[in-house]
Amino acid sequence: MPKLSPTMEEGQIARWVKNEGDTIEANETIAEVDTDKATMEMTSLEAGTLLKILVPGGENAKLGQIIGIIGEKGEDFSALLNGESNNGGGAKKEEAKKESADESPEKSTEPVSEKEETVAKQGEQQVKESVSEIEGRSYDYQRPEAMEDPESKILNPQSKPRLIVSPIAARMASENDIELKSINGSGPGGRIIKRDIEEAIKGGQQSAVSSQLSEQAQVAPNFEQAAEVQGASRFREENTSKMRQVIAQRLAQSIGPVPTFYLTVEIEMDKAMEFRKQINASVSEDEKVSVNDIIVKVAAMASSKHPFVNSSYQDKTIRFYEDADVGVAVAIDEGLITPVVRGANRKGITEISKEIKEMAARSREKKLQPEEYTGATFSISNLGMFGIEQFTAIINPPEAAIFAIGSAAPKAVVRDGEIVIRNVMNVTMSCDHRVIDGATGAKFLQTFKQMLENPILMLM
């Protein structure tokens, strides 16, 4: 497993592009790998034949772990499988093997194509041997028909079959009240995947909640009968996806050693919203901008007047950036990713809007390249579209600041001794105190507020 992104420590095989026995040219794509943030193409360093797939689609592998063997057609690679060195012209490894005694494979992404299932069947024995009692995506539900299936006993020596479910399928089932026990998974190793849930929804499957309500209605037709609860609540455990692991790792790093303080300011957004209307009235439909696009532009311009906001702490130095590379938080199925608008201080609002839309779309498809989501100088997280009025965001090191943007909502305020209605937005700035002092952050927010309340100041 090669290192395909700067923060990658292990990868998950999304699918094998090549099958066992296929001829491979040097630099030809042989597999697609899910890293912590994106799906990357993995190419072969040398030409040959794909003799063996050791890590099938849906499985995880640490950096340096053998995931497949390439060599000459018909070559004996049994020594490699036994962990022995095959000196002098043996089968070529993708990378040097790195053992991990406690490694528990994950199955956190959906198959990219139908080919993955074929590849998974070729590696079925490895799947059976790798699934354990503590494996993620396992639900502690018994499937009666599986109890009679001798194959299912391989999955659980105690003959207590579990459901193996991908994160997306689990979420979809929960959102649509789908009963997982009644679904037969079509993914590798019997895993329940997204399309299984989609078929269940199309088929009009009765939800678990509906079934329970129906049963309760028959047993307890009135509201006076108390519900019987025995013992603690049942639960399920899932292995975390690579993206969620990295998010947890980075945020723990931030909230621990990074001394953080928060500053909140109220901003009247009426003129900014009118400014947006004027822009959208003069551009085509696909060029229309959002309030968030304007916020990105204003933050970038304000940071040029307050360089400490656009800097990072480097132990013995402070690194000041010439341009504002603004990270814009985008929610995707497995967590959060922050595409970066490079040099936002030098770009127009419509150009910023176009970049954000394009990168957000590719973020959700996991098509961003590492250089497109790393290296921001500060970030913006906007939850206003979800009705959130105010919140605090966690700094993404080594950035020195992140701005939490709430919704702009009508509010009664006092102006010149009179009560008037204004669209007010709360912005909370999280600051790394090693770089940004309280007064520094406050002065930045003053500039930021002035520009949003009077957009014409962006021209000065």
Q: Closest Cα partner for 275 from 426, 405, 454, 459?
A: 454
Q: How far apart are CA 220 and CA 222, in angstroms?
A: 6
Residue 155's contacts (CB-CB under 8 Å, 6 or more residues apart) are 128, 131, 161, 162, 164, 189, 190
Instruction: Answer yes or no: are the C-beta atoms of 234 and 418 closer than 8 Å.
Output: no
Instruction: Answer yes or no: are the C-beta atoms of 326 and 382 closer than 8 Å.
Output: no
Catalytic one among 433, 434, 442, 443? 433
Task: Give CA separation, 413 vs 14, 207, 454, in Å.
Answer: 53, 48, 18
Strand partners, 401: 431
Q: Clarify whether 306 is annotated catalytic.
A: no
Instruction: Answer yes or no: are the C-beta atoms of 71 and 81 closer than 8 Å.
Output: no
Any idea what DSSP says for residue 181? G
Burial of 363 (0-12, 13-18, 19+ CB in 10 A): buried
Strand 418-432 to 401-415 pairing: antiparallel
- As given in the structure block, the two tokens for residue 145 are 């028909």
**Angle CA(301)–CA(305)–CA(310) in degrees, nearest 5?**
75
Instruction: Answer yes or no: are the C-beta atoms of 22 and 1 closer than 8 Å.
Output: no
Classified as helix, coil or strand, 79 is helix
Classified as helix, coil or strand, 423 is strand
Q: How far apart are CA 409 and CA 426, in angstroms?
A: 9
Residue numbers annotated as active site: 433
